[in-house]
Amino acid sequence: MTKSSVLGYPRIGADREWKKALEAFWSGKLDEDTFHTRLQEIRLNHLRKLHDQGIDLIPVNDFSYYDHILDTAVMFGIVPKRFTYDSGAVPLSVYYGIARGTKDAAASEMTKWFNTNYHYIVPELNDVTPALTENKPLVAYREAKEKLGIEGKPVIVGPLTFLKLSKGYDKSETEAWLERLLPLYTQVLQELAEEGVQWVQIDEPVLVTQLSKDDLQLLQNIYKTFADAVPNLNILLQTYFESVENYSDIITLPVQGIGLDFVQGLSGNLQSIKTNGFPADKILGAGIIDGRGIWKASLQEKLSLLDVLIEQVAPERLIVQSSCSLLHVPVTTERESNLDPALKSSLAFADEKLKEIALLTKACTSRHADILNAIDKADQALLPLKQSQERNRIDVQQAVAALRLQEPSRSLPFAKRHIAQQEKWKLPLFPTTTIGSFPQSAEVRKTRQLWRKSELSNEQYTQFIQEQIDAWIQIQEEIGLDVLVHGEFERTDMVEFFGEKLAGFAFTQYGWVQSYGSRCVKPPIIFGDVAFVQTMTVEETKYAQSKTQRPVKGMLTGPITIMNWSFVRDDIPREHIAYQLAYALRQEVEALEQADIGMIQVDEPAVREGLPLKQNEQADYLAWAVKAFRISTCTVQETTQIHTHMCYCEFHDMIDSIEAMDADVISIETSRSHGELIHSFELNTYKLGIGLGVYDIHSPRIPSVEEMTTMIERALRVLDPKLFWINPDCGLKTRGREETIASLRNMVEATQIAREQHHAIKAV
């Protein structure tokens, strides 16, 4: 009989009660015992929900107090030596210290979980001696069984993935590290087997990336070790986010089941099964319900896919499940009362996906009329949105079809534009600017909230925003910045602000997902064809420019970042969505230029975030991402200066794409990796305007003039002084007023020193 499962469930709760408990504990409003009790209540409620929805294999140990990779690290005693820890179970003070830092020790690095918008804490191996501190999967299994009578499926991050995601060791030490970790993993599994656990899910998402022959040999050794140690324990080797590489090697591993992604990895995994078959002695975990997208599935299409799989795998050897953990989607659509009915009837958050999985599982066993009617009814609910005017804007579709055939470019190459822009702007050597936003005080946030609640009139709100602009234009002039910004006081979020002003977007009330730690975001939904409606930024930018003789940059979020930080429709290619966004933003860029704004910044911090996991797909993605940016910016005059901002990336492997964007000036968030980026410039020549962030805005400390002078000097060893800009490494929205002013004063002073030194060198 076919069974159902999910790979994990959202931690945060429908009301973000998890987030609220964490932050109450951190602020001292909850003592530790009460905190543990509160989180247990949340955890057990989740398990009850999964049970009540008819999920057969219910994951346990997917719940976390912060992050599942951090959980794995502390379970094995992998605690950086800068934190006070000796042995035994890791205290919460140390656990949260690793994640958030303490007054005496910096937090561990945080980075993206594969190509999702979730971020994990990077384990630091270094000179740590690992030891099993607590069998967390066993604790979670016992809790589910004792409290609720649920036979849980413990979830563990696999050894190869854990090592690949860790830092602090040389690649040549991989095998040695495995030798240290395998006995600990084995002990965990043996204790689970002794407890009577039936299935363990071991997550190895690294198997969808390119692996070496040595990696494959390590993989064989890992799972042979487990098979020898726990021969009677059922292991489900779970992959997700793409199709597996080396399918023929992976299906020979001595495990009882293999989980494959049939959403993001549909074509590759399905072709592998059709070509190579699937072992008759293994269970297939078929991830057919999208764990990352928010759209209801066409259940008839999914049932047809299951029928294809059943040709290779007997129904009793099949598990119908989500493609990955449901961590990446909101909890439920139930309370979304403000959405258009046609849109809401097409949405499936975590709870709705449970129902889809349960229904499809029943259909694998029986094609009873009631089941088939339920599937047909679910598919009928998708039609209103599909047929809606919002998804069938002929004007947008025709414009994008034309754009796809064009190669957008500026009227002159950069070298000639640079001369024209210098003649127009007459900027000094090493122009100074900021990335865009200035501190959003409690007063700013409160006033915006009052306006959104209609407790403040449009006129009152506009006056307040203009007062903020007035104040910060004056501050920027007093500090001595060369190119100013209006400060973005009217914006809540760099994506939401634009989504609210463009057609094709919708916003939920409770559609929160975890980004990292207690940080939750509510991504916009791109549900229809994106279209420009009216100007979005011209009013505030034009007002700011009227208050100063210095240039004020227009500030926009780029098409790829808006797309990557939203939930996007799944009925058309992402490339087409990017071009729709680019076409809409082009109209805003043109409106700014017509309003005499001659410097326009189109930020793309998330270009690299959307990079496909498969290397053979990356060049195509970068090509249309670059094209989207150029569509947005290519129609301006040669004297209009286009800026962009990007977060730090491995510059050397994207330099061609970044140059191809053809922005006149790019600023890069680099302060935490300044040396690495400087090294990239030693290996690569960059011929356009560039500003490297000279101080870290994520820290409240005020950097000294000397620190920034050193950073500037290092950069000027490898960059053309005539093309070099000086700026902070990101927006200043989250910083305080006084620290912002003090830091920028130091930045301008460091710039003046650099100018004097450069002139002195030239004079000699």
Query: Where in the sequence numbering do the catalytic residues fall?
Result: 698
Dist. CA 455–CA 382, nearest whole Å: 38
C-alpha to C-alpha distances, 624 to 264, 552, 661, nearest whole angstrom: 19, 30, 10
Q: DSSP letter at 437?
A: B
Distance CA 256, CA 189 (A): 14
Residue numbering of the annotated binding site for L-homocysteine: 435-437, 488, 603
Q: Return d(Cα 454, Cα 432) in angstroms, integer.
A: 39
Q: What 8-state DSSP symbol labels residue 179? A: H
Q: Enter the tokens of residue 165.
A: 């995601």
The set of residues, in sequence order, having a beta carbon less than 8 Å from that of 567 and lying 6+ positions away, is 293, 294, 511, 523, 524, 525, 526
Q: Are 150 and 144 in contact (CB under 8 A)?
A: yes
**Binding residue positions for Zn(2+):** 645, 647, 669, 730
Concatenated DSSP letters for 114-175? TTSS-EEEPPB-TT--------HHHHHHHHHHHHH---EEEEEE-HHHHHHT-BSS-GGGHH
| Start-to-end C-alpha separation, the chain | 85
* Contact yes or no for 284/251 (Cβ under 8 A): no
Binding residues: 16-19, 112, 435-437, 488, 519-520, 565, 603, 609, 645, 647, 669, 730
Q: How many other CB atoms are found less than 10 A from the CB of residue 383?
A: 12
Q: Which residue ranges are tagged as binding site for L-methionine?
A: 435-437, 488, 603
What's the chain's Rg over C-alpha atoms?
27
Q: How far apart are alpha carbons 171 and 167 in whole angstroms?
A: 10
Distance separating alpha carbons of residues 727 and 433, to the nearest angstrom = 5
In terms of C-beta density within 10 A (0-12 exposed, 13-18 middle, 19 or more buried), how is residue 351 classed? Answer: buried
- Do 410 and 417 contact (CB within 8 A), yes or no? yes
In angstroms, rounded to a whole number, what is the distance separating the alpha carbons of residues 356 and 346? Answer: 13
